[in-house]
Amino acid sequence: MSPEKMKELLCKAVDKRAEEIKAIGRDIFAHPELGYREHRTSELVQKNFANLGIPYRAGISITGVRGELKGRASSVRVAVLGELDGLICPQHPYADPNTGAAHACGHNAQIAAMLGLAMALVETGLLSELNGDVVFMAVPAEEAIEAEYERKLLEEGKIKFATGKQDFIALGEFDDIDLALMFHSGGDEKKVKVGGTHNGNIKKFVQYRGREAHAGGKPHEGINALNAALMGLLGIHAQRETFRDEDYIRIHPIIIKGGDAVNIVPSDVRIDMQVRGASFQAILDASRKVDRALEAGAMAIGAEVEITNSPGYMPRVDCPPLSNLFRDNAVALLGEDAVGETGHRPSSTDAGDLSQLIPTIHPYVNGAEGSFHSSELTFVDEDLAYVMPAKLLGMTLIDLLCEGAKKALACKASYKPAFTKDSYLAAWEELVAK
């Protein structure tokens, strides 16, 4: 069968299930869960795999699920990813009142489209025409926003990394994967954006320790850890003019504990922080300046500071031949004017880590409206947000695996990984130790 015919059959099958796909997107949007606790969403994925007769494993990195469909030959293995987690955004209209979780980053669309593609591939039986396997991965915890909860899971040995794709890498779930496809929802002027790069980052957990005293009666006997922290933060701000535009440095701390009681001199102040940049070198340079400033705050007040670095995300790199396939399919369905380039994004994603190991694409598909990571984010075009990506991912998959999987093999050949899995794991150890 020609690739064009296969694409036509796939799109028809996706359209046939469109209402079901949109209902999944809506359902997950209304039931957001936080990283490594996406139990309901995980069960929804498992139920769909079971209904489709797709063999799967669950409980990977706590809530992750991995299903698999075999092709005519297993020349290449392609992962299609969807992220399970929401983030903390309590003002969001669909926020969970208990946890504050909300799908303010639109990951619900990824799961809906991934399952939509699975439905269409099963229904059409197209994989019997293709020289490769498809591995569906529902992956937890892309956002990595709960420093203390992540530390607890790490200490308990339940995870090895704070984000799901990193943990999947460490567990060996990507060892047998050649290429990875995913998308993120967008709300830009172009309906689809392809290619581009992302910042990486290092995470910092900062704890200032001072001495308690009566805040009204005898403050002179205390050591004010909050004042030390504030001086540390001011020191960071004073260095912003030293960051080069091309390095896209972003440093954004939040104080997660400011003291114990208003009438006690604060003795335990905690800060959660990410230091982002476009390259490892830039991140390390900014990270050293941040540490210096934080230490200076402690020194000024006579407090103590402990800085714990941990892996954030690696910068994302693109695989242009793979992105071009996705672009061509987007142009075919939506027209040239609807498709643009992502460019460099100063935000970060753990798709960055994956992109350093295997060819990975992370295009954007619209359908959402309102600022991402805010209570405004909502979906206004469900066909574009949930249904269209299933088609675009599926068409790209057909391109990759048809005709002896020659395009997949060409993408692999053009790609020079920055790391092996072992050198990747070692690199993170080294980066956070500096």
Q: Which residues bind Zn ion (CB under 5 A)?
A: 105
Q: Least distance from C-beta 87 to Zn ion, angstroms? A: 6
Q: 164 with 142: CB under 8 angstroms?
A: yes
CB-wise, 105 or 118, nearer to Zn ion? 105
Q: Least distance from C-beta 399 to Zn ion, angstroms? A: 25
Q: Least distance from C-beta 397 to Zn ion, angstroms? A: 22
Closest-by-Cβ residue to Zn ion is 105
Q: Least distance from C-beta 349 to Zn ion, angstroms? A: 7
d(CA 227, CA 162): 30
Sheet with strand 192-194: strands edge to edge: 184-185, 364-365, 192-194, 339-341
CB-wise, 105 or 265, nearer to Zn ion? 105
Of 428, 158, 422, nearest in space to 313 by CA: 428
Contacts of 295 (CB under 8 A, 6+ apart): 232, 305, 307
CB-wise, 198 or 270, nearer to Zn ion? 198
Amino acid of residue 118: A
Of 120, 125, 74, 151, nearest in space to 388 by CA: 120
Q: 185 with 109: CB under 8 angstroms?
A: yes
What are φ and ψ of residue 293, in 5° steps?
-65, -40
Q: 107 with 40: CB under 8 angstroms?
A: no
Q: Least distance from C-beta 145 to Zn ion, angstroms? A: 9
Q: Extract the tokens encoding 139.
A: 């992956």
Q: 248 with 343: CB under 8 angstroms?
A: no
CB-wise, 45 or 105, nearer to Zn ion? 105
Q: Least distance from C-beta 142 to Zn ion, angstroms? A: 5
CB-wise, 105 or 303, nearer to Zn ion? 105
CB-wise, 87 or 325, nearer to Zn ion? 87
CB-wise, 109 or 282, nearer to Zn ion? 109
CB-wise, 68 or 376, nearer to Zn ion? 376
Q: Least distance from C-beta 396 to Zn ion, angstroms? A: 20
CB atoms within 10 A of CB 425: 17
Contacts of 285 (CB under 8 A, 6+ apart): 247, 277
Q: Least distance from C-beta 347 to Zn ion, angstroms? A: 7
Q: Least distance from C-beta 432 to Zn ion, angstroms? A: 22
CB-wise, 106 or 235, nearer to Zn ion? 106
CB-wise, 202 or 269, nearer to Zn ion? 202
CB-wise, 143 or 178, nearer to Zn ion? 143
d(CA 392, CA 114): 11
Q: Least distance from C-beta 198 to Zn ion, angstroms? A: 11
Q: Least distance from C-beta 115 to Zn ion, angstroms? A: 18
